[in-house]
Amino acid sequence: MLWDELEKVTWHQDEPFGSASIYAQWNVMRRASERGVTVLLDGQGADELLGGYVDSSSYFWLKTLIKNGHPLRAFSEAKAFSDIVSNSIGKIMFWSIIGYLIPPKYSTLLMPLFPQLKRKDISGNLFQEHKGRRKIPSVYSDLPKELHKRTFDMGLRSLLRYEDKNSSAFSLEARVPFLDYRLVEFIFGLPLDQKMRNGWSKVILRNSMKGIIPENIRLRRDKIGFAYPQLDWLRQTQDKVKSLLTSGNTLTKDYLSIEWIASNLSYCLSQDDMIDIVWRWINLEIWFRVWNL
């Protein structure tokens, strides 16, 4: 039903969105509405407050330990987290030390390490106009600053907005108890090792749930996001994708390099790490069409 409903979902969201997870959430809201549910409790906020995004949060935790004069403990923590993060111990330690040693004013020296910032799919004029706004991933923040930023300045605000739009489309009220201001203030006042310690994230939450939830859930360490078959959806409908993005009436030609996309679309669809980019091309084009831009 993705292609039948994509314009409707985009209309409700008001602006383009970065992955098909929004459509997956749309279907959750639909199912809840069909079951007669009117109020939902959602776990939004726990990851941002308690370091649940382990791949990146572990890096900031190690950098904080190094910054505070505990390099041996940082190595021990890198080893403890190594079985559940995508990077090796050496890579984790490398970026932790780099983030500690290189002053922010020399951040441009790191640009060659982030080739994804060089985007050929963006229209040449637009890319030149905005290239100064490109930023390398943050390697200078420590864990307290990073958790604060994720809670108040990025990420979470978008997730809450997506949820509000999707739930409202089905006349549902979604509540987020982890973001009760009293709980948020309490968590930000905790010592850092109540959030991350010895290869564990969300330490205080796990400890508080002992005897309340099943142990296989409480002690689960691998982080799985809101899984959705975006890769299969797009690969199985390549003709639709190609028609949408390379037809003569493409509305995003001032923003995207349609010639480059047309030449590289099949390759991009074959690469797992490019699927999110392909989705963004699609959704931007859909958004332009929905709002007659």
Place of tokens 């982890």: 178
Question: CA quadruple 273, 275, 281, 284: dihedral positive or negative?
Answer: negative
- Is pLDDT at 196 greater than 90 in this prediction? yes
Higher per-residue pLDDT: 57 or 94: 57
Residue length of the chain: 293
Give the least confident one: 110-114, 166-170, 223-227: 110-114
- Is pLDDT at 117 greater than 50 in this prediction? no
User: Domain locations in the chain?
Assistant: 15-109+138-224, 229-293
What is the pLDDT at residue 107?
53
Residue range 244-270: mean pLDDT, rounded: 88
Higher per-residue pLDDT: 118 or 223: 223
Strand, helix or coil for residue 256: strand
What is the pLDDT at residue 93?
62
Q: Strands (DSSP E) along the chain, which ranges?
A: 39-41, 173-175, 196-197, 200-201
- Is pLDDT at 195 greater than 90 in this prediction? yes
Residue range 182-190: mean pLDDT, rounded: 96
d(CA 258, CA 276) in angstroms, rounded, equals 17
Residue range 61-70: mean pLDDT, rounded: 86
Question: Residues 253, 114: contact at Cβ < 8 Å?
Answer: no
Average pLDDT over the chain, rounded to whole? Answer: 85
* pTM of the predicted structure, to 2 decimals: 0.81
Question: CA quadruple 239, 244, 249, 254: dihedral positive or negative?
Answer: negative
Count of H-run helices and E-run strands, the chain: 16, 4
Which residue type sits at 193? Answer: D
The per-residue pLDDT for range 82-113, each reduced to its tens digit, is 877 765 556 666 656 655 555 555 555 555 55
Residue range 7-29: mean pLDDT, rounded: 94
> In the chain, what are the helix, strand and coil shares in percent, each to the nearest 5?
65, 5, 30
Selection from 69-83, 143-157, 198-212, 264-278 with the highest mean pLDDT? 198-212
Greatest CA separation for the chain:
61
Give the least confident one: 14-28, 79-93, 143-157: 79-93
Higher per-residue pLDDT: 97 or 210: 210
Q: How confident is the model at residue 183 (pLDDT cuts 50, 70, 90)?
A: very high
**285: nearest Cα among 16, 9, 27:** 16
Question: Cα 70 vs. chain centroid, distance in angstroms?
Answer: 30
d(CA 44, CA 49) in angstroms, rounded, equals 10
Question: CA quadruple 84, 85, 90, 93: dihedral positive or negative?
Answer: negative
